[in-house]
Amino acid sequence: MRDAVVRDAVAGVAGTLNSQIAERTAELERIFLAQIPEVHGDEPIKELLAASTASNLSVMFEALRHDIAVDQIDVPPPAAAYARRFAQRGLPLEALLRAYRLGDHHFIQWFLAHLADWADTPQQLERAATEVVAFTVEYVDRISEALIDIYREERKLWGQRTDAARAAQVRAVLADSSVDETTAEIMTGLAMHRWHVGVVLWMARDERDVVGRMDEAARALRAARPSPDLLVPADAHTLWAWYAAASEHDARTLDLADVVDAGSRIRLAIGEPARYLDGFRATHGEALRAQVVAETAVPPHRVTRFAEVRLSALLSENVDELRAWVVRALGGLATDDDPSARLRDTVRTYLESGGHSTETAERLHIHRNTVRYRVRRAEEVRGRPLDEERIDLEVALVVCAQLGSSVLRPAPSS
């Protein structure tokens, strides 16, 4: 028969911890993000991780507080949603369960740190600790088994969809640098030599009937003009699309603003036109970055173009995409050699000096005619005047000065 003091001690600590659930959730979330790399860079997954953690803690605290048996507890809905999203993303089951193994240790430690204040004797403290440990182990075991079933069922359903198979192929092309252009064309059905425009379409996760609405959106997109040359689901809330064009001009003049109705809750993020397999990957990456910016905007934008938000989007640490943008902004000036470095340094100083050749010459300890020559030469190498896309030029020059070769393209071999 349970000691009333033990029961009260466990319930009391559970109540105390439940009042701290926001802080406890944040603590575990930091631990999970540090030790579960699979969730990095995926904001929807990270949001569901936080919701799942909070819901599990709430259920566990309340169960211990009110003496609810583990066999009377079901998987919290946010935890189930987290497992389904893991399955849709193709993330490993091991990573899903790792959070529970990490979490149960900290959960027990929290209780042990507080139980001594409630128990009257060492024996009562030992019994209370044993009860908490037994409950935690049983809860994690029960929930983990249920989540395994949920994950496997979702993987089965997701894998049965034809477009999911195509999505898996597209993900492989995006992620595997060993895939060549010929293989990529077979796997995606796209001619890689064309100009590609990557688009991400998504709906807020709190929308009702999201799956039905996204299926409807996919059908509408395929019937629209222009229609995407490739359309695959990223998950139940998100579609990835690519539009192909014969020329850069055609790609830049694609009118995608009306792809979705003005009243639709579906939003678009659009990458810059790019060519070949590298371009297929780059424009998609830019669309994903534009999506991140769009999701943080208040109020949210219906259509977000990477070209309009690139400076905000580039705050993320992706050197490959940063390099692509630097090359686009600087043209030939983004070459990793000494002549280009001198031109970049001169132009950066010239712009910082307000376009005054004399001040630039004094700062660089060269003749002002040399400054004028280098500025003209820089415009030739860049392929357009310095005043064109001036902000991008200035930021790119600073990035080059700070990061050097990592954001430059190799000099052609002689």
Among 61, 52, 210, 68, which Cα is nearest to 146's? 52
Same domain (yes/no): 169, 281: yes
Q: Please give the backbone phi and psi of residue 141, each rounded to the nearest 5 degrees, phi first.
A: -65, -45
Same domain (yes/no): 272, 362: no
The predicted structure's pLDDT at residue 346: 96
Same domain (yes/no): 296, 339: no
Say which range, 102-111, 200-209, 277-286, 386-395, has the weakest mean pLDDT: 200-209
316 has pLDDT over 60: no
Would you give the DSSP letter of residue 412?
Answer: P
Say which range, 93-107, 153-167, 168-182, 307-321, has the weakest mean pLDDT: 307-321
Cα gap 190→234, rounded to integer Å: 18
Among 329, 317, 314, which Cα is nearest to 408's? 329
Cα gap 125→123, rounded to integer Å: 5
Residue 365's CATH number: 1.10.10.2840
Q: Which of 276, 307, 338 is the last residue of a domain?
A: 307
> What mean pLDDT comes out for the span 193-212?
78
Would residue 64 count as lying in a domain?
Answer: yes
> What mean pLDDT comes out for the span 291-304?
74
DSSP β-ladder status, 409-410 and 335-336: parallel
For 403, other C-beta atoms within 10 Å of its C-beta total 14
Q: Select the more confidently predicted residue: 340 or 5.
A: 340
Would residue 227 count as lying in a domain?
Answer: yes
* pLDDT range class, residue 205, cuts 50, 70, 90: low
- The DSSP H or E segment spanning 106 is helix 93-115
Would residue 314 count as lying in a domain?
Answer: no
Same domain (yes/no): 45, 136: yes
Same domain (yes/no): 291, 230: yes
Would residue 170 count as lying in a domain?
Answer: yes
Same domain (yes/no): 143, 170: no
Q: Are 308 and 281 in contact (CB under 8 A)?
A: no
The predicted structure's pLDDT at residue 263: 56
Cα gap 213→236, rounded to integer Å: 10
Same domain (yes/no): 8, 138: yes
Q: Which of 277, 307, 337 is the last residue of a domain?
A: 307
* pLDDT range class, residue 84, cuts 50, 70, 90: very high
Would residue 9 count as lying in a domain?
Answer: yes
| Residue 60, both tokens | 């566990």
Same domain (yes/no): 175, 96: no
> What mean pLDDT comes out for the span 65-73?
93
For 350-403, the pLDDT digits (tens) are: 999 999 999 999 999 999 999 999 999 999 999 999 999 999 999 999 888 877
Would residue 360 count as lying in a domain?
Answer: yes
pTM metric for this prediction: 0.48
Q: Select the more confidently predicted residue: 88 or 360.
A: 360
Would residue 245 count as lying in a domain?
Answer: yes
Residue 64's CATH number: 1.10.490
Please provide the DSSP assignment of 139-172 as one string.
HHHHHHHHHHHHHHHHHHHHHHSHHHHHHHHHHH
For 225-275, the pLDDT digits (tens) are: 778 889 888 887 889 999 999 899 988 888 776 666 655 678 889 999 999
| Residue 84, both tokens | 């389904």
Among 161, 159, 163, which Cα is nearest to 239's? 163
Same domain (yes/no): 198, 272: yes
* pLDDT range class, residue 1, cuts 50, 70, 90: very low
Close Cβ partners of 349 (under 8 Å, ≥ 6 residues apart): 360, 363, 364
Q: Select the more confidently predicted residue: 167 or 119.
A: 167
Percent of the chain as helix, strand, coil, to the nearest 5 = 65, 10, 25
**Per-residue buried b or exposed e for 81-91, using 16+ beta carbons within 10 Å of the residue's own CB:** bbbbbbbbbeb
The predicted structure's pLDDT at residue 159: 64
Same domain (yes/no): 149, 75: yes
Q: Which of 254, 278, 307 is the last residue of a domain?
A: 307
| Residue 149, both tokens | 């079933």
Q: Please give the backbone phi and psi of residue 219, each rounded to the nearest 5 degrees, phi first.
A: -65, -40
The predicted structure's pLDDT at residue 257: 65
Q: Select the more confidently predicted residue: 91 or 359.
A: 359
71 CB burial (10 A radius; 0-12, 13-18, 19+)? exposed
Would residue 320 count as lying in a domain?
Answer: no
Would you give the DSSP letter of residue 404?
Answer: G
Say which range, 16-20, 34-38, 401-405, has the weakest mean pLDDT: 401-405
- The DSSP H or E segment spanning 241 is strand 238-245
Same domain (yes/no): 289, 200: yes
> What mean pLDDT comes out for the span 84-106?
89
> What mean pLDDT comes out for the span 321-346?
93
- The DSSP H or E segment spanning 132 is helix 122-160
Say which range, 132-136, 254-258, 365-369, 409-413, has the weakest mean pLDDT: 254-258
Range of the domain at 362: 325-410
The predicted structure's pLDDT at residue 259: 65
Among 44, 51, 3, which Cα is nearest to 28's? 51
Say how many domains are in the chain.
3
Same domain (yes/no): 22, 128: yes
Residue 217's CATH number: 3.30.70.920
206 has pLDDT over 70: no
